Structure formats: structure tokens, C-alpha cells
Amino acid sequence: MATLSDIGVAAAINILSAFLFFVAFAILRLQPLNDRVYFPKWYLKGLRTDPVHGGVFMSKFVNLDWRSYLGFLNWMPEAIRMPEPELIDHAGLDSVVYLRIYLLGLKIFFPIACLAWFVLVPVNWTSTGLEGAKITNITSSDIDKLSVSNVHSRSERFWGHIIMAYTFTFWTCYVLLREYEKVASMRLQFLAEEKRRPDQYTVLVRNIPPDADESVGELVEHFFMVNHPDHYLTHQVVYDANKLAKLVKKKKKLQNWLVYYQNKLERTSKRPEMKTGFLGLWGKKVDGIDYHTTEIDKLSKEIVLERENVTNDPKSIMPAAFVSFKTRWAAAVCAQTQQTRNPTRWLTQWAPEPRDVYWQNLPIPYVSLTIRRLIIAVAFFFLTFFFMIPIAFVQTLASLDGIQKHAPWLTPLVKVPFVKSFVQGFLPGIVLKLFLIFLPTILMTMSKFEGFESISSLERRSASRYYIFCFVNIFLGNILTGTAFQQLDSFIHQPANQYPITIGTAIPLKASFFITYIMVDGWASIAAEVLMLKPLIFYHLKNFFLVKTEKDREEAMNPGSIGFNSGEPRIQLYFLLGLVYAAVTPSVLPFIIIFFGLAYIVFRHQIINVYNQEYESAAAFWPDIHFRIVFALIVSQIVLMGLLTTKKAASSTPFLIVLPILTIWFHRYCKGRFESAFVKYPLEEAMMKDTLERATEPNLNLKGYLKYAYVHPVFKDIIDYHDDDEEILSQKWETESATVPTKRQSRRSTPLPSRISGASSPKSLPDIIPNHPEP
């Protein structure tokens, strides 16, 4: 059990670590050779060039101006200085709303912390529950006197905790309501002012039914010319080009190695040699340049053949397509309506923006998605609950008892006061942090297997699973292991009627562990984020071995992105801990407030200068943020009810029952009031933008703009974008003829005459819907 001195040692270590990270960053960011690492976003926008320093040759690599080092923390006020509207133009709405999550944490927890420390801390501190209770089997420390554990059973003081629980709930709901309203307004304004994008006119159509008479492309054109005759513009079928993409990726890797060996030849004037075996460790020794040149030539021919196979083989065309319309209004109608009587066919949804498309998953058959998601659901269940075993084991080893039991020869060392404080106050948090390093990658791989078609949806699903994992393993897991493993021997030697009291008392006693975890994960790790050690090393390695041209130098920059799939669940964990412990152990709150404030400054700096977001979803993730905070609020209310029950506060506990009910009602109100703004596009807004566009750009070549927007990236290098310019410009948007050409023999869903069959279809569709799917 960590004491105040242990937490003090952990705080000193983490504060010193954060300070050293900031100092290292302040020095490294001023060096000319690191400028592209710490300001890549400005280079990508073309607004920054390599710094030029005259005079000494060394000044090209090292900043010799000693005065620039004096204000080593100037980047903090600079990060806050850019106003929010300008930041939206600079980085996008997704990035700005992501930052608002940190501000939301400050808005919620700073007033709660002030009130809790003013009301609850004196109530808890002046009680003598831990001293007077005859529970000798529960270990406690001075910090636990600030918690509800120190209040006597059946005490009237619990009314203070109940009143504060109501106050915290109402305040949190009020802030959430205002923030939901603000973000919804920002999203609608952003969509109204946003420049033209292909996804505004395009829908993704899945599960296109097979047809014996028409290809997928012909079938798509025929269906939308019939059912959207005045609005359909063009389409792009989806190809299974995954094998081709792998070949292109392999060629790129070989080209990098060729550049490496060519640079090596220029430096040493000696023909470089290599081994053809695994990782170059064994095999035949050959000339590195000749070998890679030959392999690239062979691979180029293979790519050409595979590209021809993909474009000519009907089996490579998947039952999916990107369909574009003449107006945003028409796309909104198509994306938000059912197309046929059979709700499993011709499924439409908003198309992701082109850079958001995850092309590898588009060829996955729609019918297999349900099976894939069932498999991943089962796998995630076992991953979540079986992960608790190694976490509990490692956490046990990272404790004094675990070290003395498994490594008794270290007992004299861990009895040293500083080492003891280090083990109890710092080691458990860092061990848990290291244990979770590969979890985001595992969860993202699972999401990819599920078949989501966009990067944004992949990140949102991965974030949702990460949050569930954190809730089960970090929150519940540490509480349960703390009461079930550490106190097991005590349980055996006490009466059965003492079990609820022991558990209820032990839950707030885990606050010391979460304080140490917050300092490791929320202080030192956030400070390390700005240092960008991994991108720094990788950039200089690429710059030394692979860079020959300015384009190569730009490709060597790796600005990265926010990392929503791992960053957002971490934020939500702090919301959960803050709301749960606000009325239980208020001493946790200052550490959480420091996290939100520090993270806001760091990530604002990163978003302004470093991160280059892969996509723009216009804050479509906000309903998930709102739900998880409401869920954390309900969990906090249930935990407090359980604690008061163990404290035998039977007369006051029932007054808490109404809180979860009110919170659920609040969530349903917000969902009905605001969520539609994040999942639907208002037709009124679409019509306004279309009308304005027709007035300002009457000669817009929309078909030329959309024709190649959703072509697979592996085909873009062979497209001639000027082939049909004159033809496109001469085309009229209006439908010239009511007849729709088709090769189909069956006209069951063709209400217009067919040029091929020369007959008319029935005036009305059959009244009987067949039980089997239509061919």
C-alpha cells in the first residue's frame, strides 16, 4: 500500500522525467537538422523551408545562438495562441474537437475538485473510521484518511457524499449538454462552410445482387439511371486489387534498398555487396545494386500483368461501387434511404472521403462481415478476460510482497526507504504501462479483420474496444485483484459477515495505485509525446541511408496523426477515474486535472506543428465520447451506492437510486436532440450548398471532378486525366432520354422501356414478394 511518501517519490520521479523531456525537446527542436521532425506540417503545407544560417559550417546542423535556448518553454504559450477558428482551417474539425475533450475534462473536474476538497476532504479527514474500526486485516496509509473509508459506518456524514454526488452529476450533465450542443453546431457550420469534396456527392453501394446478363458496372449504371434518373452522374466499381497493392508495396521497398546501395556506392566508391538470404544474414553474396535493379524489373513486369488481370477479369470486380450524383441533395437522399424492397440488397451509405477509404477491406464480401464480426467478438472476449491473468501476475511481481517472495535475495535492497517508495509508488504504474504497449496494434488488426471500409470507422471501433479493455482490466481488474489477491489471506481468517465491509473499504484504498498510474501515463508519457523520439530516429536513419532528392526528404518525414484509436480511450479512462473517485477519494482529482491541462497544451502544439490528420470526419466520433462519459458517470453512482451499502448507511443509500435513472434519461434526451447531426446530413443544408454552387460556378465540370476520385491508388499512375475533358464539358446534366439501355432479359425492376428488349415493363410491380432472393 503506497503511502504519502511513496506517492511523493513517484511524483518527483515523474515530474523530473517530464521536465527532462521538455528540456530535451526544447534543445532538439532548435537544431536545424531536426526542423523537419518537429515542424513537418508546415513543410507539407509549403509554408516552411529549411532554416538557413550563415557563417560557420557547423551552424547548418547546430543552432549556435545561445539566446534562443533561454526561452525553452516558449512553445507552450505559442501553442495556445492560435484561435480556434484559425485552428479549424489549419488542422480540421476532427483535431479541434479532439482537443476540446481535454478542455471538457478541465471544465468538469476543476469545479468538482474545488468543491470536493472544500466539502468532502474535511468531512473525511476529521473522521476516525480507519483508526476506530477494528479491521486489522486492511492495510491503509495517510492518504486513505482523505477518502470515504475513514468515515464511520452508519455515520450521518454520508449525507455530505450523497449531496456532492448529486451536485457532481448535475454539473457533469450540464457541461456535457452545453458541449454536445456546441460541437453539433460546430459540425453543421463546418459542413456548411466546407469546400467541395468528392464524398459530398458520393455514396458507397454494397451487396449489389448478381445478374447473369449485365456486369456489375452495367448493373449499377442501369439501376441508378432508373431509380435516380435526374440525379445520377457517374460511378466507379470496386476491384479486388489487394494482390496488386502488395506487389506495388514490395516494389517500393526494393526501390528504397536500391537507393540505399546507390548512396553507399557514392560514399565509399566501392560496389556494395549483400546476401540474398533472410535479412541478408546468409545466402549467396551478390552485387546489391545489380540484384535490386533486376528484382525491380521483374516485379514491374509482374505488376503490369497483375494490373491487366484485375481490370480484365470479371471475378476481380466486387459487388460494390462508389456512385456519384449531380448534387449533394441527391447524394443525401440516396445515402439515407432504402433502395429496394429487399433491405439486404443495394445497401447505401455515405462514402468516406477518398483519403479515408481503407481499400484492403472493400473486396470483402458483404455477407461475410457478420461472420467476421462474430469471430472477432469472441476473440476480444477471451483477449479481455484472459489478459487479466498476466496483468495480475506482473502487478504482483511489481510489489514488495511479490519481490520478497519470488526474489528473496532482493529483500535487503527493497527495505531501503527510497527503493521501497520507488517499488510501491512508481513500479506498478510503469509495468502496467509497458504491458499495454502492443494492445492498440492488436485491436486495430482485429478491427481490420472485421471489414470496416474506412480508416475513421476502424479507429472508432478500435477505440471502443480499447475503452472496454481498459474498463475491465485497468479499472475493474486492479480493484478486484487488489481485493481478491492482496487480501486473500485476510479474508480466510475473518468472519463471513465481514467480507462486504472489507471489500467496500478496499475499493477506495486502490486510489493510491491509480494515482501512481496517472502520473506515469498522464504526466511523463504525455511529456514524452512532444519529444517524438521514434520519428526523430527514423527520420535521421532515412535521411542518411535513403534520401537523394528533395522528394525523398519529404517522404522521410513522418508527421503521424492524433492516434484516435489509442488516445481517446486513455482520455476516457481519466474521466472514469475522476468521476468514480470524486465522491470517494478526492485526492485523485488534482492529478487528473494536471493530466488534462498538460495534455491539452502538448497535443495542441502537436496538432499545430506536427500531426497531419489522415482523414476528416467532421467530429463524427463525438456521440461515442458523450456516451462513454455518461457511462462513467453511471458507474460512479453505482460504486458509491455499493460503498454506502457496505458502510451500513441504509437510510441514505436509497436516495442515490434516482441518480442513474436521471442520468440515463439525460443521455436519451441528448441522443434524440443532437445525435442525428452526426449521422445524417440535413437536406436543407445540402440544397443550400447546391444552390450557392450553381449560382457561383454555373460551368462547373463536376463529372470531371468526380470521375477518378474513387479510383484505387494502384491505378492512378496509369490514368490520363485529360482524355475526356472536351466530352465532359459538352455533356448536359439533365437526362436526355427516358429510355434506359439494358442487357437484362428480366424487366421485373425496370419501369421504363428497354432499348434492348423493345418492350415495356409492367405499369406496376407485382404485389407478391418472392420468399427467395431475386436473381
Domain edge (last residue) among 646, 668, 690: 668
User: Within this chain, do residues 333 and 387 fall inside the same structural domain, yes or no?
Assistant: no
* The pLDDT of residue 76 is above 50: yes
* The pLDDT of residue 752 is above 70: no
Give dist(CA 310, CA 607) in Å, integer.
Answer: 39
Residue 745: predicted pLDDT = 53
User: Within this chain, do residues 373 and 242 fall inside the same structural domain, yes or no?
Assistant: no
* The pLDDT of residue 452 is above 70: yes
What is the number of H-type helices and E-type strands within the chain?
Answer: 35, 6
Cell numbers given for 421: 517508495
Cell numbers given for 106: 478541465
Residue 266: predicted pLDDT = 82
Residue 456: alpha-carbon gap to chain centroid: 8
User: Within this chain, do residues 220 and 299 fall inside the same structural domain, yes or no?
Assistant: yes
User: Within this chain, do residues 537 and 410 fall inside the same structural domain, yes or no?
Assistant: yes
What rounded mean pLDDT belongs to the chain?
A: 80
Please indicate, yes or no, if residue 477 is contained in any of the structural domains.
yes
Residue ranges of E strands in 597-741: none
Q: What is the mean pLDDT of residues 301-305?
A: 90
Tell me: the pLDDT tens digits for 550-576? 677 777 787 888 889 989 999 999 999
pLDDT band, residue 435 (cuts 50/70/90): confident
Please indicate, yes or no, if residue 151 is contained in any of the structural domains.
no
User: Within this chain, do residues 276 and 374 fall inside the same structural domain, yes or no?
Assistant: no
* The pLDDT of residue 326 is above 90: yes
Of 40-44, 316-320, 385-389, 470-474, the poorest mean pLDDT is in: 385-389
Cell numbers given for 739: 429510355
Of 296-300, 347-351, 602-606, 713-717, the poorest mean pLDDT is in: 713-717
Q: Are strands 202-206 and 232-239 parallel, antiparallel or unpaired?
A: unpaired
Q: What is the mean pLDDT of residues 612-637?
A: 92
pLDDT band, residue 772 (cuts 50/70/90): very low
Please indicate, yes or no, if residue 129 is contained in any of the structural domains.
no
* The pLDDT of residue 158 is above 50: yes
Tell me: the pLDDT tens digits for 612-624? 888 899 999 999 9
Beta bridge partners of 322: 204, 236
Q: Between the CA of residue 430 and those of 202, 443, 525, what are the distances in Å? A: 47, 21, 10
Provide Rg for the chain, Cα atoms.
31
More confident residue, 645 or 4: 645
More confident residue, 275 or 401: 275
| Parent domain of 465 | 4-116+177-195+366-668
Question: What's the half-sphere exposure (Cβ side, CA atoms, 13 Å) at 542?
Answer: 21
Our count of domains for the chain comes to 2
Residue 622: predicted pLDDT = 95
531 Cβ neighbours under 8 A, 6+ residues apart = 21, 24, 25, 28
Residue 749: predicted pLDDT = 42
User: Within this chain, do residues 331 and 376 fall inside the same structural domain, yes or no?
Assistant: no
User: Within this chain, do residues 181 and 292 fall inside the same structural domain, yes or no?
Assistant: no
* The pLDDT of residue 690 is above 80: yes
Q: What is the mean pLDDT of residues 308-319?
A: 87
Question: Averaging pLDDT over each range in 281-290, 518-527, 762-771, which range is the top one?
Answer: 518-527
- Pick from 318, 130, 83: nearest CA to 216: 318
Residue 544: predicted pLDDT = 79
Judge contact between 358 and 458, C-beta under 8 A: yes
* The pLDDT of residue 602 is above 90: yes
* b/e per residue 713-748 (b: at least 16 CB within 10 A): ebeeeeeeeeeeeeeeeeeeeeeeeeebebbbeebe
Give dist(CA 750, CA 746) in Å, integer.
Answer: 8
Angle, helices 499-509 vs 622-646, to 10°: value is 140
Tell me: the pLDDT tens digits for 639-678? 888 888 777 776 777 788 899 999 999 999 999 999 999 9
User: Within this chain, do residues 305 and 378 fall inside the same structural domain, yes or no?
Assistant: no
Q: What is the mean pLDDT of residues 50-64?
A: 62
* The pLDDT of residue 138 is above 80: no
Q: Angle at the Cα of 590 (from 589 to 593), degrees rounded to 5? A: 85
Give dist(CA 671, CA 679) in Å, integer.
Answer: 11
User: Within this chain, do residues 381 and 252 fall inside the same structural domain, yes or no?
Assistant: no
Q: Is 233 helix (H, G, I), strand (E, B) or coil?
A: strand
- Pick from 311, 301, 306: nearest CA to 244: 306
* The pLDDT of residue 52 is above 70: no
Domain edge (last residue) among 619, 640, 668: 668
Please indicate, yes or no, if residue 262 is contained in any of the structural domains.
yes
Residue 640: predicted pLDDT = 86
* b/e per residue 92-110 (b: at least 16 CB within 10 A): bbbbbbbbbbbebbbbbbb
Give dist(CA 640, CA 517) in Å, integer.
Answer: 22
Please indicate, yes or no, if residue 689 is contained in any of the structural domains.
no
Cell numbers given for 717: 499512375
Q: What is the mean pLDDT of residues 529-541?
A: 87
Residue 729: predicted pLDDT = 36
User: Within this chain, do residues 219 and 341 fall inside the same structural domain, yes or no?
Assistant: yes
Residue 760: predicted pLDDT = 35
pLDDT band, residue 423 (cuts 50/70/90): low
Tell me: the pLDDT tens digits for 727-747? 433 343 333 334 455 555 544
User: Within this chain, do residues 386 and 424 fall inside the same structural domain, yes or no?
Assistant: yes
Q: What is the mean pLDDT of residues 146-169?
A: 85
Q: What is the mean pLDDT of residues 252-260?
A: 85
More confident residue, 23 or 268: 23
Residue 563: predicted pLDDT = 85
Cell numbers given for 373: 464480426
Please indicate, yes or no, if residue 162 is contained in any of the structural domains.
no
* The pLDDT of residue 374 is above 90: yes
Q: Between the CA of residue 707 and those of 177, 198, 453, 696, what are the distances in Å? A: 42, 10, 20, 22
User: Within this chain, do residues 399 and 337 fall inside the same structural domain, yes or no?
Assistant: no
% of the chain beyond a pLDDT of 70: 78
Of 134-143, 158-167, 303-312, the poorest mean pLDDT is in: 134-143
Residue 272: predicted pLDDT = 84
Residue 417: predicted pLDDT = 64
Nearest 5°: phi and psi at 710? Answer: -115, 35
Residue 724: predicted pLDDT = 44
Please indicate, yes or no, if residue 142 is contained in any of the structural domains.
no
Q: Between the CA of residue 518 and those of 231, 258, 428, 459, what are the distances in Å? A: 54, 46, 11, 24
* The pLDDT of residue 510 is above 80: no
Residue 600: predicted pLDDT = 95
Give dist(CA 529, CA 560) in Å, integer.
Answer: 12
Give dist(CA 148, CA 143) in Å, integer.
Answer: 11
Please indicate, yes or no, if residue 240 is contained in any of the structural domains.
yes
- Pick from 148, 159, 173: nearest CA to 643: 148
Domain edge (last residue) among 651, 668, 685: 668
Tell me: the pLDDT tens digits for 178-237? 999 999 999 999 988 888 899 999 999 999 998 888 889 899 999 999 999 999 999 999
Cell numbers given for 375: 469471430
Q: What is the mean pLDDT of residues 312-334?
A: 92
pLDDT band, residue 759 (cuts 50/70/90): very low
